[in-house]
């Protein structure tokens, strides 16, 4: 995984209609945040959008590919991220539409999590 700051700037410009997004380094790649939640990973010039059961089939139908990586034991691991469709690479309006769906997926996932119990100090 590799993150290029110039690519991060392209992502900020391409997704400008979303409003301010934060990009942080994460595991050698980058993560794009909106509303405090990760909605995309940035790796080797690819935008990987967060998915759930609602938007994954749409991205698949648009020709996107799922984020996969090999494990130490030779298995292939998949993650809940799909590539930004190629048609959206030259169309910021389309890209923002896909990103909004990914932000919605991140919000749904966050809402489904059980709240953490507060730590009690002795």
Sign of CA dihedral 79, 85, 89, 93: negative
β 76-83/66-70 pair status:
antiparallel
Report how far residue 101's alpha carbon sits from residue 11's, in angstroms, rounded to the nearest whole number.
Answer: 16
pLDDT digits (tens, 9 = 90+) for 11-62: 999 999 998 898 988 877 889 999 889 999 998 889 999 999 999 999 999 9
Beta sheet of 76-83, edge-to-edge order: 22-26, 29-34, 37-43, 46-50, 76-83, 66-70
pLDDT digits (tens, 9 = 90+) for 54-102: 999 999 999 999 999 888 988 998 999 999 999 999 999 999 999 999 9
pTM for the whole structure: 0.84
pLDDT at 87: 93
């Amino acid at each position: 995984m590799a993150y290029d700051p110039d690519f991060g700037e392209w992502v900020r410009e391409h997704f400008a209609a979303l409003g301010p997004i934060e990009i942080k380094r994460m595991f050698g790649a980058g993560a794009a945040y909106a509303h405090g939640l990760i909605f995309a990973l940035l790796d080797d010039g690819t935008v990987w959008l967060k998915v759930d059961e609602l938007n994954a089939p749409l991205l698949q139908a648009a020709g996107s590919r799922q984020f996969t990586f090999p494990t130490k034991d030779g298995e292939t691991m998949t993650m809940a991220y799909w590539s930004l469709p190629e048609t959206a690479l030259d169309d910021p309006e389309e890209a923002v539409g896909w990103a909004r769906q990914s932000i919605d997926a991140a919000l749904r996932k966050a809402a489904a999590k059980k709240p953490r119990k507060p730590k009690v100090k002795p």
